[in-house]
Amino acid sequence: MLEILSVWIAGGLTLCIFSFLYGDNPVYKFAEHLYVGFSAAYWLIYVWHFTIKQMVINPIAARDPGAWMLIIPLFFGFLMLSRWLPEKYSWISRWSIAFTVGIGAGLVTIGQIQGLLLPQLRATILPLATGKWTTNINNFIIIIGTTTTLTYFYFSRKDTGIMSRFSRIGIAFIMIALGAAFGYTVMARVSLLIGRMVFILGNWFHIVKPL
């Protein structure tokens, strides 16, 4: 009985979301607010159980070595809650926000360099004579595409002469990349739509074979 009820609730909420195709309506608003509310409640419980309790409260209660250092992030966490106080005291939260943004910027910069920039450089420095003509063509296209794309973003010189021709080739590679990314996004959304349609027609109405 519980499984049947869950299928009907899931199918009904799916149709409520699909009702947005007709236009903004109260049924869609209800499903949207319900989804946001459940997501917020889930992450609140998740953060409490796996972050605050296991990483702060339990080590301090067990008096683990070095647990006293957890007081520092706990202090900054309480400072961030001062955003809920009147404007006279809410400025205190800027200390925590600035600290968090600074750490995030440093980690993102290192991650971008090690995870994107350096691998991209290694993937671009390729041999043009490998013994296989297909590999040679692929490597040549990668080198030309990377070089011309960087030329398009080189704003220190006027876009004239050979620089203009290179930048136009770079524009073509950029459009191809954006088109591929957009196609991948559409394909991912279509796969989600197919999954929900199979759920409605299979698990709910039993018209097709469920997954």
DSSP string covering 56-113: IIHHHHHT-TTGGGGHHHHHHHHHHGGGGS-HHHHTTHHHHHHHHHHHHHHHHHHHHI
Residue 139 belongs to some domain of the structure: yes
Residue 112 belongs to some domain of the structure: no
Residue 140 belongs to some domain of the structure: yes
Q: Supply the pTM of this predicted model.
A: 0.65
**pLDDT tens by residue, 103-121:** 999 999 999 899 888 888 8
166 pLDDT band, cuts 50/70/90, is: confident
Instruction: Determine what percent of the chain is predicted with pLDDT higher than 90.
Output: 49
Residue 152 belongs to some domain of the structure: yes
Residue 202 belongs to some domain of the structure: yes
* CB proximity list for 199: less than 8 A, separation 6 or greater: 10, 11, 14, 210, 211
161 pLDDT band, cuts 50/70/90, is: confident
Residue pointed to by tokens 């319900």: 34
Residue 185 belongs to some domain of the structure: yes
Residue 194 belongs to some domain of the structure: yes
Residue 146 belongs to some domain of the structure: yes
* 150, pLDDT greater than 80: yes
CA 190 to chain centre: 18
- Structural domain count, the chain: 1
Which domain, by its residues, includes 210?
A: 130-211
pLDDT at position 211: 66
Length of the chain: 211
Q: Taking residues 33-56, what's their average pLDDT?
A: 93
